[in-house]
Structure 1
Amino acid sequence: MQNSGNQKPQKPALRIVRLPRWEIGIYLVLSFGSHLYSFYEVHKISRDYEDDLDSEFELEKGFFIWGFKKDPTDFEWSFWTEWGKRSLLWTLLGHVIISQVTSVVISELRLWFLMAYGMMACLFVLGLKGLVVILLHTLASFTVAQLRRPLLSWLCSLMLLYTLHMSSLEEIQRDWYETENEYYLLLFSLAICSLRYTSFSLEHCWYQSSEKKYKLFLWMLAYLFYYPVFHNGPVISYDEFSKQIQKQQTRVSKMEVYALTLSICRIFLWWWLAESMIHLMYIHAIPSSNTVLDAVESWALGGLALAQVLFFYVKYLVLFGIPNLVVRMDGIEPPRLP
């Protein structure tokens, strides 16, 4: 019998065939075993050339019980862990205390207390001149946003971002600080702030607001100086921030305490894994040394590539996991971790 003109022939149903468990098990064993063996080869190269790498890159003294030295050549990890131990973890703890106390005592003023704390923490970490530079960038972006032209706001943000690459301003700002890391912290903070004041300016251009200008500027400061994401992100758009920060329910429930405790344990395990990797395998120093890299065999070379990818992943789980945890305690839904 022929199909009628208005009927379409049905497609045959797709049949999903699952691999047998024994085959999946073989693949897992082969994959896991090859990874472990390649990591072992990287570990052997690291031990064999430890003295050469130490003289070239000044490996740091490790703090684990097995006494291995630590590869410090991943700038980002070394930079943020050093600042974390130095001050950032303590300033984040101060934010948590201020946020939880004000949410119980004076919840209607909580946002402005957080803004004031963020500015004081910025003053403490970056100094008065660093705070003034950030305020000047903010004021310039807010002024241009009043014209309600998205293109002008984008151009303003690009011009402010370009000032970070001007050699004359760079030399002036370097002279404010005793160490390079202090200057770099200002640089990173300004770069992240540029994303936030661009978000605020575009929202202001796209949507009409009945708020007076001084109130809008205060909201911009509250958004910009929200401290958990101030120095390194992750970036939360102004629209999401303004909606979620005004929630009445900000105290942490028992279920949330359990989830937060679990998150703290996970962050600690990720940090421990990252530190173990740069103690057991010098995965960043070896590729930077031509002499050592020429001696690396294929298995070790594959292990280096895989270990660097995994370290990059774990590193951002830690660097973004800590501020994400604090943001969740404030009742805000942060961006998902990688």
Structure 2
Amino acid sequence: MTSTKIWIAHALLALWISMRSSGQLWVWLKHWTQPSEYIEGYQIDTSDIEWKLYRNSLSGFLFAFILHSVLFQIIIRVFKRKDGDVILAIFWIFLQLYLTSINCILFTGILILLATTITYFTRRQIFSWIICIIFVLKADLWAPYSYTPEKYYREFNFYLYTAVQVINFCIYLVKNPEKKFDFELMIRYAQYLFYPTYSITLIVLYEDFENQLNLVWKKVEKQETLWGPEMDFWFFVKKAIRLIFWFYFIELFLHFIFVNALFNSPFTLISGLHPYEVSSLAYISGQFFHLKYVVIFGVPSLFAMVDGMQPPGPPICISRVSKYSQMWRYFDQGLYQFLKNQVRKY
């Protein structure tokens, strides 16, 4: 209990010091800000490009995820699995067309077709790694992007996460040489690539996705609830409220503490600060990083759980981590599973 009180006191003190330092350095940081949409007369730090693009894209994500959750529940209950799988795959492709663009989907299709075909006939995963790494490194030069920032952000993420998914599936083919690329596997592969909540911000292995979707269909066939005993209506309401709270907390935070702008500025700007001020600013910057991914990972995770899937867990709070191995394992848990199972083993 004492350690918790000390941690809270330390965090509050760092927050206050960061707020004060931001005010003192305001004249050199204001070019990173823009007028607030929430509080008249205030400025908001917009120097974190990822958060700026995400917050502008959020309405599109929410519309797609809500629409998907409603239609997903209808499809799995109205149609038998064979037909339902095909309908879901087609629906998810159209949903990705809404989130990204037809040029994005077609260009990604080249990667999918090339890497999967070569891997299937050679049963060597090295080719998929080479193709996908080149794709990721050269996507900025070769890939088509939309002009609107919101779609640009979603397309950028879709290219990156699709490359990871292609590698995952190709490794699955290599580990299962007896597998024939029949119609059923093709549909399941399309589902894996285009399932909306796993296609842009969460990394899930192909085998895990297949097992999760199989379990959903089994529960539907047995007329069982899709959710575990601890998951009821209020469970999802609480998670949604928590995400809403942290989203607006971050937005409020960026009105008064400009650590992102500070660390995007020349190093000489902090050279005159006291070491404890620098430490406090670095600590608060880390906390912002954590909360940002609580929201970015949390939104698709919430909707995946509504579907009856089991997404990776939320990122661990970095201020309570005593071992870096914990940070590595429990911040981006999907990435950890990918590196542990797909990289380290091979």
TM, length-normalised to structure 1? 0.81
User: 1 CA distance for matches of 2:121 and 2:296?
Assistant: 37
User: 1 CA distance for matches of 2:73 and 2:164?
Assistant: 27
User: 2 CA distance for matches of 1:100 and 1:67?
Assistant: 45
Shift of 1:148: 5.3
Q: Counterparts in 2 of 1:121-132, with a 5 A limit?
A: 121-132=95-106
SS in 1 for 2:74: helix
Match of 1:306 in 2: 283
1:83 counterpart letter in structure 2: S
Match of 1:4 in 2: none
In structure 2, which of residues 139, 146, 149 is the aligned counterpart of residue 177 of structure 1?
146
Instruction: List per-residue Cα deviations over 1:33-71 (Å, max 9, x = no partner).
Output: 34322321221222233343123x2x1222444853211
User: 2 CA distance for matches of 1:97 and 1:129?
Assistant: 27
Residues 314 and 53 of structure 1: CA distance in aligned 2, closer, same or farther (over 3 Å): same
Instruction: List per-residue Cα deviations over 1:133-154 (Å, max 9, x = no partner).
Output: 11121111221232252xx323
Asked whether 1:275 is paired with 2:251, we answer yes
Residues 252 and 28 of structure 1: CA distance in aligned 2, closer, same or farther (over 3 Å): closer
Structure 2 unaligned segments of length 5 or more: list them: 316-346
**Contact 2:135 2:163 (C-alpha < 8 Å) held by counterparts:** no
SS in 2 for 1:245: helix
Structure 1 unaligned segments of length 5 or more: list them: 1-23
User: 2 CA distance for matches of 1:28 and 1:139?
Assistant: 53
Residues 107 and 302 of structure 1: CA distance in aligned 2, closer, same or farther (over 3 Å): farther
Residues 257 and 93 of structure 1: CA distance in aligned 2, closer, same or farther (over 3 Å): same
SS in 2 for 1:70: strand
Residues 244 and 173 of structure 1: CA distance in aligned 2, closer, same or farther (over 3 Å): closer
Shift of 1:245: 0.5
* Higher Cα Rg, which structure: 1
2:14 counterpart letter in structure 1: S
**Contact 1:245 1:330 (C-alpha < 8 Å) held by counterparts:** no
Asked whether 1:134 is paired with 2:108, we answer yes
Shift of 1:29: 4.5
User: 2 CA distance for matches of 1:142 and 1:214?
Assistant: 15
Q: Counterparts in 2 of 1:78-157, with a 5 A limit?
A: 78-85=52-59, 87-108=60-81, 109-147=83-121, 149=123, 152-157=124-129
TM, length-normalised to structure 2? 0.79
Match of 2:233 in 1: 257
Residues 208 and 165 of structure 1: CA distance in aligned 2, closer, same or farther (over 3 Å): closer
Match of 1:285 in 2: 261
Higher-RCO chain (CA-CA 8 Å, sequence separation at least 6): 1
SS in 1 for 2:34: coil
2:125 counterpart letter in structure 1: S
Percent identity over the alignment is 18
User: 2 CA distance for matches of 1:134 and 1:244?
Assistant: 25
**Contact 1:96 1:326 (C-alpha < 8 Å) held by counterparts:** yes
Match of 2:203 in 1: 235
Q: Which moved more, 1:253-262 or 1:222-231?
A: 253-262
Residues 192 and 47 of structure 1: CA distance in aligned 2, closer, same or farther (over 3 Å): same
SS in 1 for 2:219: coil
User: 1 CA distance for matches of 2:203 and 2:78?
Assistant: 29
Asked whether 1:76 is paired with 2:53, we answer no
RMSD of aligned alpha carbons: 2.5
In structure 2, which of residues 163, 166, 169 is the aligned counterpart of residue 194 of structure 1?
163
**Contact 1:154 1:198 (C-alpha < 8 Å) held by counterparts:** no
Match of 1:48 in 2: 24
SS in 2 for 1:284: helix
Q: Counterparts in 2 of 1:5-84, with a 5 A limit?
A: 25=2, 27-55=3-31, 57=32, 59-65=33-39, 68-84=42-58
**Contact 2:125 2:170 (C-alpha < 8 Å) held by counterparts:** yes
2:18 counterpart letter in structure 1: V
**Contact 1:196 1:238 (C-alpha < 8 Å) held by counterparts:** yes
Q: Counterparts in 2 of 1:209-248, with a 5 A limit?
A: 209=178, 213-232=182-201, 234-247=202-215, 248=218
**Contact 2:92 2:195 (C-alpha < 8 Å) held by counterparts:** yes
1:245 counterpart letter in structure 2: L
